[in-house]
A = this chain, B = another copy of it.
Amino acid sequence: MRKMNYQKILEIAKRRGIVYPSFEPYGGVSGFYDYGPVGKRIKENIENLIREVFIIKEGCFEVEAPTLTPEKVWIASGHVKSFSDLMVECLNCGEAYRADHLVEKHLNISCDGKSKEDIEKLIKEKEIKCPKCKGSLGEIFHYNLMFKTQIGPGKDKLTGYLRPETAQTTYLAFNRLWEVCRKRLPLGVLQIGHSFRNEISPRQGMIRLREFSQAEIQFFVDPENKFVSEKKFSEVKDIKVKLLDKEEREYELSLEEAVKKKIISLQIIAYFLGLSLKLFEDIGINPKKLKLRQHKDEERAFYSTDTWDIEFHSENFGRVELVGISDRTDYDLSAHKNLSGEDFSVTYNGKKFIPHVIEIAYGIDRPFYCVLESSYIEEDKRRYFKFPVRIAPYLAGVFPLVNKDKLPEKAQEVFKILKEEKIYCFYDDSGSIGKRYARADEVGVPFSITIDYDTLKDNTVTIRNRDTREQIRVDIKQICSYLRKS
């Protein structure tokens, strides 16, 4: 049943242009997906909601940096040295595996935080073989997950990497941003864009992509002032959450209690967890399936004082990380200072220091998938996505009841009015009205507008609500304001 839902979602996603595997004519390459026309509109809507929350509401700035980046950036950040997965190859057939995933699958355990030696030992002791040909496995080694290339020709050529995260490309501009924001803290900087991870063997559809979208916010703060105002915190403090702390203790309490009991170490982390929970609910993710998970000591980056993820419990994929919120301290700015010689310290409130960073790192593709899984409804014979109005690919479909008697002309008039009001909508005149409703439902369009014989008489149309299936009559002049206030 569960898997079946996934298959149905995937089938609709491919057939109706939500998402589909990239490069299909050439057989596809694992870890790459295209957003089709419907999916791209939903993705845009999600990204724009993140902008509203972080730029307009939280006062952050947005930047856009290149994805191709010279090597020094990733030497400083530590990625050249340690952004790797443990890999093992079959000595017989040559198949490459991620060693921890192989062990997890074979022994049905979690390898979170296990070292190379631990995993090596498990493979030897449990005599794990190649799942494909049963051949023996070779030595485990660190495989760097960054895509490498050369920038420029000849003697001046540089090694470049495709960025594995947006964060470092934001940090590099810190001194410019400090001037631009008029030298005040906190300073929040959002970057939305593609990042890359040369996964060893991605096999989980949209959940593990080699090229993916991120929305990462670097929130620069005074190290002695890592909290938001009580007024701000009061917006989220009563949200009840499920938590799993680093000792694997489970809790169900409010964010305020979680901070008071020091389960979440920093109030500002709790604030952004709350803001993210609201955001996920607004884009249509089922809040009942969300859990806050603290990184274990051995899993957390050594410089971070505390890191929390929000995870979605997917029917198909199990735990899916949607956002990571982390106190990155002054680690990154200091690392770039040490390698580049550029000073990133600021003088603020009479003190000189390198700002600390609270990072809020959203994936886009994973939340997108979780929206699909959360919104998919089967009801009688209907299948539809109950996308929130703000997220739906189109606000409305426009249908002439029949293709004669001047109804198409009138329907085109209505379509034109909506377009002039910059409303994303579509026109459909093929098949029966029932079929057109079903098609609109299938991609989660909230409103269907039908132009019928009464329209010619009294200038009203029928607007059908996707969720309630109720139909009301609205004057053509009122359509836009009706749709907008919904």
Contact = CB atoms under 8 A, between A and B. Distances in A.
A419 interface: yes
B172 A23 contact: yes
Contacts of A38: 180
A95 B155 CA distance: 7
A193 B162 CA distance: 15
Contacts of A44: 62
A70 interface: yes
A61 interface: yes
B63 A37 contact: yes
A57 interface: yes
A422 B51 CA distance: 10
Residue of A151, A158, A211 with highest tally of chain B CB at under 10 A: A151
Contacts of A87: 153-154
Contacts of A41: 62
A55 B143 CA distance: 43
Q: Is the interface of A mostly helix, strand, loop or mixed?
A: mixed
Interface in A89-142: 89, 94-96
B29 A342 contact: no
A177 B17 contact: yes
Interface stretch (A194-202, A236-244, A294-302): A194-202
B424 A56 contact: yes
Contacts of A32: 66, 68
A383 interface: no
A279 to B, nearest CB: 15
Contact of A22 (B15, B66, B147, B200): B66
A386 interface: no
A67 B210 CA distance: 11
A303 to B, nearest CB: 19
B67 A179 contact: no
Contact of A68 (B147, B175, B428): B147
Interface in A196-220: 196, 198-201, 210-211
Interface of A: 14-17, 20, 22-26, 29-30, 32-38, 40-41, 43-44, 52, 55-57, 61-70, 72-73, 87, 89, 94-96, 143, 147-156, 158, 160, 162, 169, 172-173, 175-177, 179-182, 189, 193-194, 196, 198-201, 210-211, 336, 339-342, 419, 422-424, 428, 430
13 contacts: A17-B180, A22-B65, A22-B169, A23-B73, A26-B72, A29-B70, A37-B61, A37-B62, A68-B196, A89-B155, A96-B152, A96-B155, A147-B160
Given A66-B211, A94-B155, A147-B151, 10 more contacts: A17-B177, A23-B70, A25-B341, A29-B70, A32-B66, A32-B68, A37-B189, A67-B211, A94-B154, A193-B194
